[in-house]
Structure 1
Amino acid sequence: MNLEARKIEFVQEFLKLQSEEAVSRLEKILRKEKNVSDEQLFEPMTEDELNKRIDQSESDFRNNRFKNSSELLAKYE
């Protein structure tokens, strides 16, 4: 049985469930699997990329290209 057929069969069985507890357990499993998948997609930046971002941030600060926390808070009030 291929993956698509297995997923369809799983969904059909899921729709038959009457237990809220069983649905909750399956939701937790799904969330956990999604988090693991998301973490596997995460690629940390290299040291060179980090240093370039630091240099850019320092340059922005020296040239007054920034907003302070008061300005940011005012934007969302």
Structure 2
Amino acid sequence: MNIEARKIEFIQEFLKVQSEDVISRLEKILRKENNTSDENKFEPMNEEELNKRIDQSESDFRNKRFKSSSELLSKYE
């Protein structure tokens, strides 16, 4: 069965549902799946953006605007 046929079959079954609870749970699942797929969209940096970040990081380091790994770890202990 192809995806379009599965969608139609699912919609037909969904239309038969009489329980508010079931509809709410299906809505939550759908929202969660849509949010997850949005989060998985990855936009790579271009070379210019990467170089800007590198320059900013080097500047921060030179000007002592950073935290050591031990400082970060102590925050979560």
**Where does residue 70 of structure 1 map in the other structure?**
none
Unaligned runs of 5+ in 1: 56-77
Q: How many residues align?
A: 53
RMSD of the TM alignment (CA)? 2.4
Distance in 1, Cα, partners of 2:33 & 2:39: 10
In the TM superposition, what is the alpha-carbon distance from 1:48 to its structure 2 partner?
4.2
**Where does residue 12 of structure 1 map in the other structure?**
12
Unaligned runs of 5+ in 2: 57-77
Q: Which has the higher contact order (CA 8 A, sep 6+)?
A: 1
**Where does residue 31 of structure 2 map in the other structure?**
31
**Where does residue 40 of structure 2 map in the other structure?**
40
Cα deviation per residue 1:3-55 (whole Å; 9 max; x = unaligned)? Answer: 10000100110011000000000000000100111011132546841627xx9
TM-score, normalised by the number of residues in structure 1: 0.58
- List structure 1 segments (4+ residues) > 4 angstroms apart after TM superposition: none
Q: Percent identity?
A: 72
Distance in 2, Cα, partners of 1:47 & 1:31: 35
Distance in 2, Cα, partners of 1:40 & 1:24: 24
Distance in 1, Cα, partners of 2:12 & 2:4: 12
Task: State yes or no: 1:21 paired with 2:16.
Answer: no
TM-score, normalised by the number of residues in structure 2: 0.58
